[in-house]
Amino acid sequence: MDRPVIDHRRPELPALTAEILEGLGRIFKASGPVVIYPSSGTGAAEAALVNTLSPGDRVLVFETGHFSHIWRTLAERMGLAVDDVPGNWRRGASPVELERRLRADSGHAIKAVIVVHNETSTGVTSRLGELRRAMNAAGHPALLIVDAVSSLASIDYRHDEWEVDVTVAGSQKGLMLPPGLGFNAISEKALAANSSARLPRNYWDWQDMFKQNRIGFFPYTPATNLLFALREALLILEEEGLPNVLRRHDRLAAAARAAVRGWGLEIVCEDPLEYSSSMTAFYTPEGYDADKLRAVILEHFDLSLGTGLSKLAGRVVRIGHLGSLNDLMLAGTLCGIELGLRLAGVPHKDGGVAAALETLAPAAQPAKVG
Ligand SMILES: Cc1ncc(COP(=O)(O)O)c(C=O)c1O
């Protein structure tokens, strides 16, 4: 990434464009087109809606946390009618409730179902395979739009197999890049919806993007240096192997949860089937401000933990364990938290870090002598 900026109309660009678009397809597990915007994830979310829907269309949004709420606001501002499925911010989208809602919609008024795969505000991962089965069981034709911002390249994700119509992602999480790239992976069905979608669009228009991507270019100035970085990130992921990358995230997440339990604190995610492998959120004890604890840890150790968002402000600390992260980095992070709990006088049990280390490297059984 750290190289001179090139002219984005240079003849070398098409080779780079082709390489990264192909590589992204392997990461999304998508055989259809992927588009790359010079945007954050929110831009890519807007792109997913304006390219597939028309004013007044009804969309179903599962309330899983702060980021699902952002989707709801976005859809409302775009002139869509939102059916909100309430949630307690500790569970993922319910396949049972999805099937019930879709069966009840016999006139097929609902045009899209929107799910945040990994709710970054709570550390809960919705079970997309089951949600897709629920949609198929209901025989409902709604599009499935999925926010994979904090799951892509860190939690198992299967765009084609789960028949996702638009997957939305960004560069700054599992892809290990700085912020600045937004992605849409697109199904055949979403392409068909695109041809009749009437929401206004210009910057986000897929067709303008396809026309230029076909010859290796972009309809406007791409984030050239981030494209170089993306090529490198894809090489790094393929060198480790995506299945190994996912296993590494699972292991680190299990260790982070072991630490939280070892401190005697409560994990936000209620259902072990929905534990997130990219981040873990935990509550501080009643009466102890989570942001004060975070501030102590930042000041003493320069360790930046995620804040509680909206409804969870002051109550929750979020440990991000995704992307370029190894055992020692996670162990260091957990030590920083344990030290911080002591320094801030937050009641907790000893032994969180020890429990995490046991998860990462179980002690060998002593060899029998004699
Ligand atoms: C699940 C999820 N969705 C959407 C977003 C918004 O993405 P961005 O901040 O890149 O616009 C985020 C950001 O953290 C996220 O975690």
Q: Which amino acid is at 19?
A: E
Q: Which residues line ligand 1 (CB under 6 A)?
A: 40-42, 67, 116, 120, 147, 149-150, 170, 179
Which residue has its alpha carbon closest to ligand 1 atom 7?
41
Nearest alpha carbon to residue 281 among 247, 322, 312, 325: 312
83: left (phi over 0), alpha (psi -120 to 50) or beta: beta
Query: Is the distance from CB of 51 to CB of 210 less than 8 angstroms?
Result: no
> Alpha carbon 125 to chain centroid distance?
9
| Burial class of residue 106, CB neighbours in 10 A (0-12, 13-18, 19+) | exposed
CA dihedral 45, 71, 127, 276 (to 10 degrees): 90
| Burial class of residue 341, CB neighbours in 10 A (0-12, 13-18, 19+) | buried
β partners of residue 319: 280
- Residue 281 tokens read as 């959120």
What is the Cα–Cα distance from 212 to 198, expressed in whole angstroms?
Answer: 22
Q: How many helices (H) and strands (E) does the chain have?
A: 12, 12
- Residue 346 tokens read as 């937050």
**Which regions of the chain are under pLDDT 50?**
none
The pLDDT of residue 368: 74
Query: Is the distance from CB of 229 to CB of 1 less than 8 angstroms?
Result: yes
Query: Is the distance from CB of 281 to CB of 317 less than 8 angstroms?
Result: yes
- Give Cβ neighbours of residue 239 (< 8 Å, ≥ 6 apart): none
Query: Is the distance from CB of 216 to CB of 269 less than 8 angstroms?
Result: no
Task: Give the three-state DSSP class for 324.
Answer: coil
Task: Give the three-state DSSP class for 115.
Answer: strand
Which residue has its alpha carbon closest to ligand 1 atom 16?
120
Per-residue pLDDT tens over the stretch 234-250 = 999 999 999 999 999 99
Nearest alpha carbon to residue 181 among 36, 18, 67, 24: 36
Tell me the CB-side half-sphere exposure of residue 155, using CA atoms within 13 A: 28
Distance between Cα 10 and ligand 1 center (Å): 32
Query: Is the distance from CB of 37 to CB of 164 less than 8 angstroms?
Result: no
Nearest alpha carbon to residue 261 among 276, 283, 292, 290: 283
Please choose from 37, 42, 73 the residue to mutate so as to test ligand 1's pocket, defined by most ligand atoms within 8 A of CB.
42
Please choose from 149, 184, 226 the residue to mutate so as to test ligand 1's pocket, defined by most ligand atoms within 8 A of CB.
149
| Burial class of residue 163, CB neighbours in 10 A (0-12, 13-18, 19+) | middle
- Residue 72 tokens read as 């709801």
Q: Which amino acid is at 98?
A: L
Q: Which amino acid is at 346?
A: V
The pLDDT of residue 370: 60
Nearest alpha carbon to residue 271 among 116, 131, 88: 88
The pLDDT of residue 110: 98
Task: Give the three-state DSSP class for 191.
Answer: helix
To the nearest 10 degrees (0 to 180), the angle between helices 327-343 and 242-262 is 20
- Count CB neighbours of 198 within 10 A: 11
Please choose from 66, 67, 72, 154 the residue to mutate so as to test ligand 1's pocket, defined by most ligand atoms within 8 A of CB.
67
The pLDDT of residue 259: 98
Distance between Cα 12 and ligand 1 center (Å): 32
- Residue 124 tokens read as 């809960």
Ligand 1 atom nearest residue 117's Cα: 1
What is the Cα–Cα distance from 115 to 128, expressed in whole angstroms?
Answer: 8
